[in-house]
Structure 1
Amino acid sequence: MEDKTIKENQLATSEKILLVDDEQGLLTLVKITLNKEGYRDITTVETGAEALQAIERTHYDLILLDVMLPDYSGFDLCTEIRRYTTAPIIFLTARTSDYDKLSGFAIGGDDYITKPFNTMELVARVKAVFRRRLLDIASVKESIGAKEVYQYGSIALDMSGAVLRVGETEVTCTAKELELMAFFCAHPNKVFTTAHLYEAVWGISEFGDEKTVTIHISKLRKKLNDEKKPYQIITNLRGIGYKFVPPTGAVEE
């Protein structure tokens, strides 16, 4: 018994997770599954109102959010949540359309899992979120000497302050948009496949969704004023991948 307790304590992690869903059976299943993976600090709620109350009281490292709640649309709730925290949000939903995915990312979601889902896929995505949090700083230091500020002509990215500027304008970005932009800035003029980008920014390749990358790139292009074809800043090579091309004549400062 003592050995088992020691192993369980060694496995336990410190991350706080908020699980929001009105299906009691799913709440129980997901909580048990995550508990077995060492995530013991899990709060479960069944309504949007309860979720907001919990977020006001406690800082969470990850939020798993159902899109269809009895008192809130998960998308509307996500907008409210973003007033309190920048914690990663993974949507859990039966909706599968591209429009729904686009809507989720547009209002601050970080990932999207459709129901019914394999619990191991959920575990993989959760672990990826936390793994990226630990590896991001290390990878930046390794690739660019701990540099957190990039300047390419009119484009300025300050990761320490989570700020992207285009000219004199500060544009609002989600955490994943900033991470994707930072990856591009750290690797100018290099081509990456969508799978590589998904693995580098979202931290997982086995369950990667190419549309996730495509949607985030589309949003970045809009914020970089790079919407007209042929794209000048984030270019795509048909059948190959994407490349960040700094503005003409720009030299990283």
Structure 2
Amino acid sequence: MTASIALVDDDRNILSSLSIAMIAEGFTTRLYSDGDAALRALIDNPPDLVVCDIKMPNMDGIELLRRLREKSTVPFIFLTSKADELDEALGLAMGADDYIAKPFSQRLLIARIRALLRRVEMRRQENGEAGPPAEITVRGRLTMDPARHRVEWDGKEVTLTVTEFMILEALAQRPGVVKNRNQLMDAAYQDDIYVDDRTIDSHIKRLRRKFREVAPDFNGIDTLYGAGYRFVED
């Protein structure tokens, strides 16, 4: 089935050029130049993936994502300026799956979109659509159910994006074993797609924040400075 990509940017020239490139790659597109209108549409009729600019008038991309994440875990990629490192980190902290700095290659954006959609499809296949469902993982107070894309801590649900789920899963597979950033990148970003260290660090911070919203004493992810991260099974 053809994937539907929602493009959100107040620059209509960018919307038009991206839409032409996406359609040429076999995607269908939905275009929004206003954050308010985009938010309503994305909640009422979710696409397969969202590509959104950060800098927009009225409702910017950060606020759009914040409100969207209250209702949806739809895969989300930010477009941002190279100078806006704070915005990049904030976007990832709010629950974006990826970001690309402007100016960017359309080929790179399409590669990132395809990689993220493949990760989503892997989850769907593990849901029993292509073979037996993946086994539920239980690590102390943590329960991960890939088939339902569901995570619980002490029985309380924690809502994760696809990227966050895959990073946590990579850590929880072997409690106590340290995984460096490159290993976590390989788990979450396949197909030789480059992301920098800050991206993984931002996702880890977001994971901790989400777990502490349901369990303020959460300490399940350790940082070993200079080495990486590990899951602690208590």
Shorter-normalised TM-score: what interval?
A: 0.7 to 0.9
Provide the residue aligned with 1:34 in structure 2. 22
**In structure 2, distance between residues paired with 1:227 and 1:213:** 22
- Spell out, residue by residue over 1:36-80, the C-alpha distance to the aligned partner (whole angstroms, 9 max, x if none): 2221x1011111122134324523000111111222111111122
Aligned equivalent of 1:244, options 224, 231, 234: 231
When structure 1 is superposed on structure 2, of 156-165 and 202-211 the one drifting more is 156-165
- How many residue pairs get aligned? The number is 229
- Once residues 246 and 140 of structure 1 are traced to their aligned partners in structure 2, the CA distance between those partners, rounded to angstroms, is 26
- How far off is 1:21 after superposition? 0.5
Distance apart, 1:153 and its partner CA: 1.8
Partners of 1:38 and 1:122 lie apart in 2 by 14
1:114 is aligned with what amino acid?
A
TM-score w.r.t. structure 1 length?
A: 0.76
1:25 aligned onto 2:13:
yes
TM-score w.r.t. the length of structure 2 is: 0.81
Aligned mates of 2:10, 2:79 — CA distance in 1: 11
Long gaps (5+) in structure 1: 1-12, 248-253
Q: CA deviation at 1:217?
A: 1.6
Q: Percent identity between the aligned chains?
A: 30
Q: Which residue of 2 aligns with 1:107?
A: 94
Contact 1:195 1:205 in 2 (8 A): no
Q: SS at the partner of 2:195?
A: coil
Give the counterpart of 2:103 among 103, 107, 116: 116
Residue 81 (structure 1) aligns with: 68
Structure 2 unaligned residues grouped into runs of 5+:
none
Tell me the distance in 2 between the aligned counterparts of 1:131 and 1:172: 20
Which residue is 1:69 aligned to?
A: 56
Quote how far apart the aligned CAs of 1:148 are: 4.0
Match of 2:143 in 1: 156
Letter in 2 for 1:206: I
Structure of greater Rg: 1
Please report how far the alpha carbon of residue 91 of structure 1 lies from its aligned counterpart in structure 2 after TM superposition. Answer: 0.8
Distance 2:89 2:205 in 1: 10
2:7 is matched by which residue type in structure 1? L
What is the match of residue 77 of structure 2? 90
Give the CA RMSD over aligned residues.
Answer: 3.1
